[in-house]
């Protein structure tokens, strides 16, 4: 009996050690963290991950107000631009993915501001 109790404790410690840290896990109902999107988008050999990456970027873009992406730009080009900016970036665990995506799109396709001559 003594060996079984020790084995149970060791198994519980191992299971606990391999659990993600609470502060680093994506919380259900919380905005998607940029580092989660970064991880998914880095898995380009996985079709499910690639589809999730594309869908998440399109979802963020679809609710973006005031975007100045030309109509001839295809969704794949938007995704490629965002992923190229996303992969080398270091994120804090709390940075929202939507904010990063919007910023990357604004950087790639800034709005042209019409300047009028001052009178």
The tokens for 71 are 């109509």
Whole-number Å distance between alpha carbons of 26 and 20: 10
> In a 10 Å sphere around its CB, with 0-12 CB exposed, 13-18 middle and 19+ buried, how is residue 79 labelled?
buried
pLDDT tens per residue, the chain (119 residues)?
454 554 444 444 443 333 343 344 444 567 899 999 999 999 988 999 999 999 999 999 999 888 899 999 998 899 999 999 999 999 888 899 999 999 999 999 998 765 455 54
Domain ranges of the chain: 28-108
Backbone φ, ψ for residue 39 (5° rounding): -65, -50
| CATH code for the part of the protein at 28-108 | 1.10.890
**pTM greater than 0.85 (yes/no):** no
- List the end-to-end C-alpha distance of the chain, in Å, as a whole number: 93
- DSSP for residue 96: B
Whole-number Å distance between alpha carbons of 101 and 79: 9
């Amino acid at each position: 009996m003594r060996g079984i109790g020790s084995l149970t404790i060791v198994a519980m410690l191992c299971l606990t050690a391999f659990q993600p840290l609470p502060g680093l896990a994506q919380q259900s109902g919380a905005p998607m963290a940029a580092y989660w999107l970064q991880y998914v988008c880095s898995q380009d050999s996985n079709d499910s991950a690639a589809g999730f990456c594309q869908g998440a970027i399109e979802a963020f873009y679809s609710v973006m107000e005031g975007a100045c992406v030309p109509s001839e730009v295809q969704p794949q080009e938007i995704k490629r631009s965002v992923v190229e900016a996303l992969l080398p970036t270091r994120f804090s665990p709390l940075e929202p993915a939507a904010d990063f995506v919007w910023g990357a799109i604004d950087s790639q396709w800034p709005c042209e501001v019409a300047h009028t001559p001052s009178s």
